[in-house]
Amino acid sequence: MGVVNVTPDSFSDGGRLADAAAAIAHGQALWAAGADLLDVGGEATNPRAAPVSAETEWARIEAVVTGLAATTDALISVDTTKAAVARAAIVAGADVINDVSGGRFDPAIVDVAAEAGVGYVLGHLRGASLAEVFAAEAPIGFDDVRAELAAAVAALPSALVARTFIDPGLGFGKGADPATNLALVARAGELAAAIGRPVVIGASRKRFLAATLTAAGVAVDPAALDRATVGVSLAAIAAGAHVVRVHDVVGLRAALVGYAAAASVAPGD
């Protein structure tokens, strides 16, 4: 899943693709590089970003969703927590709604996805807004995430369950210790087996990766974050994740080719 952020304030690439033509070209390049899904977002979900209205969010991404749906064969995912944006995106050609809130911010989004017959990524977090999510200090462990995601899936309309992916929500209120997020990566397959739904892992360029690099004495810059993302994404796949969400599709694709080639060789060959 390649990231196409059409926002002025995303934590790692805000403003770079604010122009629709640039965002469409970027999405086309990600698709050509091997992305199966293109995840288009019009509202940043980092602690410093200001909330925006559904109208503003949709105005940012409308041309991008329409353009990528018309010019690529990728599945188009829209990263939103708002039912109104999801509804408009589906009409414009979106195949998947990627909701980091799992329906907590706008419960109607679940019904929109269910009624439209599209895919749904159900993200894990606690709180009714991003401000609440990032203000929380209580640690959230694997057992908590598993139980809360299981309950959220059980509450979905029955028609939507078979089209739902689960996302443990790396970086969303998981505390300051990178180990909490890394444990969720390492146990991705266990999470999928426990709930019976495929897992999406989105570690790309997140703060816990920067903290992990710093703790190891590695200088943090965009290139280092992308390399760390590749490493964690490969670990997620090895652990049983079904989809990995990344900014650097080129780097991950090359790593996946090497990983798959090595993994396919039988011992002794």
Per-residue pLDDT tens over the stretch 142-175 = 999 999 999 999 999 999 999 999 999 999 989 8
Mean pLDDT of all residues in the chain? 93
Q: Given this model, what pLDDT does residue 14 score? A: 47
3-state secondary structure 88-143: HHHHHCCCEEEECCCCCCCCHHHHHHHHHCCEEEEECCCCCCHHHHHHCCCCCCHH
Least confident of 24-33, 40-49, 171-180, 220-229: 40-49
Would residue 82 show up in a list of annotated catalytic residues for this protein?
no
Mean pLDDT, residues 46-63 taken together: 90
- The three-class DSSP label of residue 78 is strand
Q: Given this model, what pLDDT does residue 10 score? A: 52
Give the whole-angstrom CA distance, residue 82 versus residue 135. 21
Active-site hit among 60, 146, 206, 227: 206
239: nearest Cα among 188, 172, 204: 188
Ranked by mean pLDDT, which of 11-15, 190-194, 262-266 comes out on top?
Answer: 190-194
User: Tokens 């414009």 correspond to what residue?
Assistant: 92
The tokens for 25 are 């070209």
> 23 — phi, psi (to 5°)?
-65, -40
Q: Is the pLDDT of residue 32 over 50?
A: yes
Q: Given this model, what pLDDT does residue 239 score? A: 98
pTM of the model: 0.94
Q: Is the pLDDT of residue 11 over 70?
A: no
Q: Is the pLDDT of residue 55 over 50?
A: yes
User: Tokens 């709604």 correspond to what residue?
Assistant: 97
Q: Given this model, what pLDDT does residue 12 score? A: 53
121: nearest Cα among 27, 198, 229: 198
DSSP state, residue 267: T
Helix (H) or strand (E) run with residue 33 in it: helix 20-33
Cβ neighbours for 75, distance < 8 A, ≥ 6 positions apart:
36, 37, 38, 95, 96, 119
Least confident of 15-24, 25-34, 103-112, 156-165: 15-24
Mean pLDDT, residues 179-204 taken together: 98
Would residue 206 show up in a list of annotated catalytic residues for this protein?
yes
Q: Are 26 and 61 in contact (CB under 8 A)?
A: no
Q: 67: pLDDT confidence band, cut at 50, 70 and 90?
A: very high
**Tens-digit pLDDT profile for residues 98-119:** 999 999 999 999 999 999 999 9
Instruction: Return left, alpha or beta for 268; rule: phi > 0 is left, psi -120 to 50 is alpha, else beta.
Output: left
Mean pLDDT, residues 134-149 taken together: 88
Rg of the chain (C-alpha set) = 18
User: Tokens 């629709």 correspond to what residue?
Assistant: 20
Active-site hit among 16, 126, 245, 253: 245
Q: Is the pLDDT of residue 95 over 70?
A: yes
Percentage of residues in the chain having pLDDT higher than 70: 96
Per the DSSP assignment, residues forming a β-bridge with 166 are 122, 199
